[in-house]
Amino acid sequence: MTGAAAENPTVPSLRARFGAAVRRSAVVVDDTIVHVEAARSHEILAWLRDDPGQRYDYLVDVTAVEYRDRELPLEVVYQLRSLPRNAFLRVKIDLPKDGPFEVDSVVDLWSGANWLEREVWDMFGVRFRGHPDLRRILMWENYSEGHPLRKDFPLRGRFSRSEQVRRALGADLDAHYSLEELSIADAYDELPADVRERLAVRRETGR
Amino acid sequence: MAERRVLELALATPGVDAAGQPTRVPLVAAAPEGAEPELQTDHMLINIGPQHPATHGVLRLVVELDGEVVVRVIPHIGYLHSGFEKLGEYRHYNQIIPLTDRTDYLSAPANNVAFALAAERLMGIEITPRCTVLRVIACELSRIISHLVWAGTTAIDIGAFTVFLWMFQERERVYNLIEEWTGARLTTTLTRVGGLMADVPDGWTGRLREWCTRFPKTLDEVDRMLLRNGIWLGRTQDVGVMTAAEAIDYSLSGPMLRASGVAFDVRKDHPYLGYETYDFEVPVGEHGDVYDRYLVRMEEMRQSVRILLQALDRLPDGPINAADPRVILPSKRRLMSDMESMIHHFKQVMEGVPAPVGEVYFPVENPKGELGTYLVSDGSAKPVRWRIRPPSFLNIAALPKMAEGHLLSDLIAINASVDIVMGEIDR
């Protein structure tokens, strides 16, 4: 770890403008990390993007970190880059360990955040307020084992292999389209009669 | 004139009429006098993939069509999700490197290098000059083989079969070189934290140099086929346009970002592996359409050849592994004769290499775009978090934005132009 690298000059400006909402900052392996308050994160990120002195216009990544140490909070991490200034900043939001895991979505600031936030929701169970379409992305929609990258999630999954197989086979394969997609073209009414019949039977009997 | 349009296909002829002439299947029924023809105006929902050659992997697209125009695209991913990031939390740093092969499996050596660089930055390890240059060679060869697959498959999606064969022939030659070096063709596992798994074999640099002199001729031939080809221009120009502002807004990276006119290349803007000392240009497009992405990638391959030749010229002699017994396994000979080496070997294999408490985000310019490796360590030999910032994931997320309003056939061309690899998107 090299503590010699200078702190990103954005941090003093952030402190001057947002005061106590900037919790702490550190320089770790040459990169500056700023922890900000969850309640004002959207405001701070918007300022970082739009202020003429900052212009962090490129959202590199959104992810989350949960530590093995159960005392440490779960962190939502934003990697920001300013293309015009060629500067880099990591912004973190600490979330209390016992929840609720909720932060404001930044999809309105960067469209690229859409899928990144969906992945954080899918993998860590962090809800993004104001996200236009917060669905699971890597796991399937009716996945019921929780959020795989949480530390309390066992490496092999919560269910035994046979239970996983049972659930996978028991899943309604005809209902592979989401309801939203079905509504697009009223596809349900267009389905062949035998498929509709099968769906109806399944809905009633559950198999 | 309510003249009937008929399908002029003998195969579709169901029989002969009373006059002995073949009856023909009407394509469009004649409109009754005075009445509007009854046309279907409903939107159609079609499902492309996950098993479809034009989706370049197990990508599923649910497309809403108005006639032949794409109204909405909903991509579904995750069919290849393997939980690499979760697995990485249970493995030593060197044990993660085989997983990186399987993310972007079309440019495995570059992923190996990306991970090793991040782990070395975290642990504060300096690599040797020979290792640095060999890693540059690995990265640029990866860029070329990845772009070759891109050019071949995109051309075949748009209907040009020849390019596919030419490109894959060249790719095969590079794979032969990589096989000589690492013993594997696809999953190379080339790097180790602090060095490489092997030095290049005798005579290898000469064979690479020979290939470098011959390969640009293939690129020129492909350009002769496509650059001014009317069909190619019609299928690619002004298709799937992303402006510079949109490309930044959607966090596109790599050739996708540069084709939109944003001159950002990690090799130039955050140099690693001494890229600042090489003489090469970064091609930048103007229009951000499929055609500009083709131009950018073709030029990148030529620039990669330039870098390869410079790297071959400067390749120094010396060790490939850092002289750091904490991370580099001792030679077999020392292991069997020296107690201290044996202890180092035992500790590395059994306990792994502990990284200091801290975290690092290390971006590299991969063929698909900016591959970031985000490692968080709590001081143990296994990372707390290994995050891959996958370039294809963010690039394909912009597909609805690019494709909506275009024809269905353009959707295929746009999807091809993104250059996705599902191993990396789903991880």
Provide the whole-model pTM: 0.85
Same domain, B304 and B197: yes
- B43 contacts on A by Cβ (under 8 Å): 184-185
Q: How far is A177 from chain B (nearest CA, A)?
A: 9
Same domain, B371 and B243: yes
Burial state string for B62-76 with b = 16 or more CB within 10 A and e = fewer than 16: bbbbeeeebbbbbbb
Residue span of the structural domain in which B31 resides: 1-38
CA angle B246, B250, B256 (to 5 degrees): 80
| A138, B78 contact by CB (below 8 A) | yes
Strands of B358-366's sheet, edge to edge?
Answer: B358-366, B369-377, B385-389
Counting every residue, how long is chain A? 207
The average confidence (pLDDT) of chain B is 87
Residue B7, pLDDT score: 36
**pLDDT given for residue B39 in this prediction:** 66
How far is residue B118's CA from residue B191's CA, in Å, rounded to a whole number? 12
Same domain, B34 and B182: no
| Domain identity same for B34 and B85 | no
Residue B234 pLDDT more than 90? no
Q: Is residue B68 part of a domain?
A: no
The tokens of A76 are what?
Answer: 């939502």
| Cα Rg of chain B (Å, integer) | 26
Task: Report d(CA A111, CA A91) in Å as an integer.
Answer: 18
Instruction: List Cβ neighbours of B370 (8 Å cut-off, separation of 6 or more).
Output: A60, B253, B254, B266, B363, B364, B389, B391
pLDDT band at B365 (very low <50, low <70, confident <90, very high): very high
Chain mean position to CA A68: 19
The CA distances from residue A48 to A8, A199, B232, B249, B374, in Å, are: 13, 51, 42, 14, 22
Comparing alpha-carbon positions, the chain A residue that sits nearest to B73 is: A181
Instruction: Using CA coordinates, name the residue in chain B closest to A65.
Output: B385
CATH number of A10-146: 3.30.460.80
pLDDT at residue B396 is higher than 70:
yes
Of chain B, the percentage scoring pLDDT greater than 90 comes to 54
Lowest mean pLDDT among B64-68, B166-170, B284-288, B418-422: B64-68
> Quick check: B98 contacting A, CB < 8 Å?
no
C-beta separation of A81 from A87 below 8 A: yes
Domain with residue B384: its CATH number is 1.10.645.10
Chain B nearest CA to A166, separation (Å): 19
Which chain A residues are within 8 Å of B251, Cβ to Cβ?
A: 58-60, 110-113, 116
Q: Are residues B153 and B25 in the same domain?
A: no
Same domain? B142 vs B246 = yes
Q: Which of B77, B250, B270 sits opposite A112 (nearest CB)?
A: B250
Report the interhelical angle of B290-314 vs B204-226 (nearest 10°): 160
User: What mean pLDDT comes out for the span B7-24?
Assistant: 54
For residue range A9-46, what is the model confidence (pLDDT) as tens digits?
Answer: 888 888 888 888 888 888 888 889 999 998 889 999 99
- At residue A176, the pLDDT reads 53
Q: Give the model's pLDDT for residue A174.
A: 55
- CA atoms within a 13 Å half-sphere pointing along the CA-CB vector of A41: 23
- Helix boundaries (H) for B356-407: 391-397, 399-403
Residue with tokens 């650059």: B227
Chain A residues lying within 8 Å of B363, measured CB to CB: 60
Give the nearest chain A residue to B125 (CA atoms). Answer: A1
Give contacts of A58 with chain B, Cβ < 8 Å: 248, 251, 264
Residue of B249, B265, B270, B377 to mutate, testing the A interface (most A Cβ within 10 Å of its Cβ): B249
Confidence at residue A36, expressed as pLDDT on a 0 to 100 scale: 92
Asked whether the predicted pLDDT for residue B229 surpasses 50, the reply is yes
- The label of the residue with tokens 């701070």 reads A44
Nearest to A111 among B42, B47, B250 (CB): B250
Cα-Cα end-to-end distance for chain A: 57
Interface test with B, best of A8, A25, A29 (most B CBs within 10 A): A29
Q: How far apart are CA B180 and CA B200, in angstroms?
A: 8
Cβ within 8 Å of residue A42, ≥6 positions away: A104, A105, A106, A109
Same domain, B87 and B23: no
Q: Is B77 touching A (CB cutoff 8 A)?
A: yes
Return d(Cα B269, Cα B248) in angstroms, integer.
Answer: 16
Q: Is the pLDDT of residue B11 over 60?
A: no
Averaged over B288-299, what is the pLDDT? 92
Helices B129-158 and B204-226, packing angle to 10 deg: 30
Q: Are B194 and B120 in contact (CB under 8 A)?
A: yes
ipTM of the modeled complex: 0.83
Instruction: Tell me whether residues A139 and B81 touch, CB distance under 8 A.
Output: yes
Residues B91 and B5 in one domain: no
pLDDT digits (tens, 9 = 90+) for B139-150: 999 999 999 999
Q: Do the domain assignments include residue B45?
A: no
Do B136 and B253 lie in one domain? The reply is yes
Q: Do A29 and B389 touch (CB under 8 A)?
A: no
The verdict on B120 and B253 lying in the same domain is: yes
pLDDT of B27 > 70? The answer is no
Whether residues B212 and B340 share a domain: the answer is yes
- Token pair 């293939």 is found at B218
Q: A181 vs B384: CB contact, 8 Å cut-off? A: no
Determine the residue of chain B that is closest to A140 in CA distance.
Answer: B78
Chain A positions in Cβ-Cβ contact with residue B124 (cut-off 8 Å): 1-2
Query: Which of B77, B378, B387 lies at the smallest CB-CB distance from A137?
Result: B77
Confidence of residue B2 (pLDDT cuts 50, 70, 90): very low
Query: CA dist B337 to B32, B275, B324, B345, Å?
Result: 98, 40, 18, 12
Domain ranges of chain A: 10-146
For A109, the token pair is 């600031």
Report yes or no: B248 at the A interface, CB cutoff 8 Å: yes
pLDDT at B71 exceeding the cut of 90: no
User: A-chain residues within 8 Å CB-CB of B269?
Assistant: 86
DSSP conformation class of B52: B
Q: In degrees to the nearest 10, what's the CA dihedral of B80, B136, B226, B251?
A: 50
Residue B318 forms part of a structural domain: yes
- Residue by residue, pLDDT tens for chain A (207 residues) are 344 578 888 888 888 888 888 888 888 888 899 999 988 899 999 999 998 888 899 999 999 999 988 888 899 999 999 998 888 999 999 998 887 889 999 999 999 999 999 999 999 999 999 988 888 888 877 777 889 998 888 888 788 878 877 776 666 655 555 555 555 445 566 677 777 777 777 766 655
User: What is the per-residue pLDDT for B303?
Assistant: 93
| B81 interface with A at CB cutoff 8 Å | yes
- Measured over the CA atoms of residue B392, residue B394, residue B395 and residue B400, the dihedral's sign is positive
b/e map A46-67, b = 16+ CB within 10 Å: ebbbeeeebebbbbbbbbbbbb
Q: Shortest CB distance from B389 goes to which of A61, A65, A185? A: A61
- Number of domains forming the structure of chain B: 2
Is residue B281 a part of any domain in this protein?
Answer: yes
Count CB atoms within 10 A of the CB of residue B14: 8
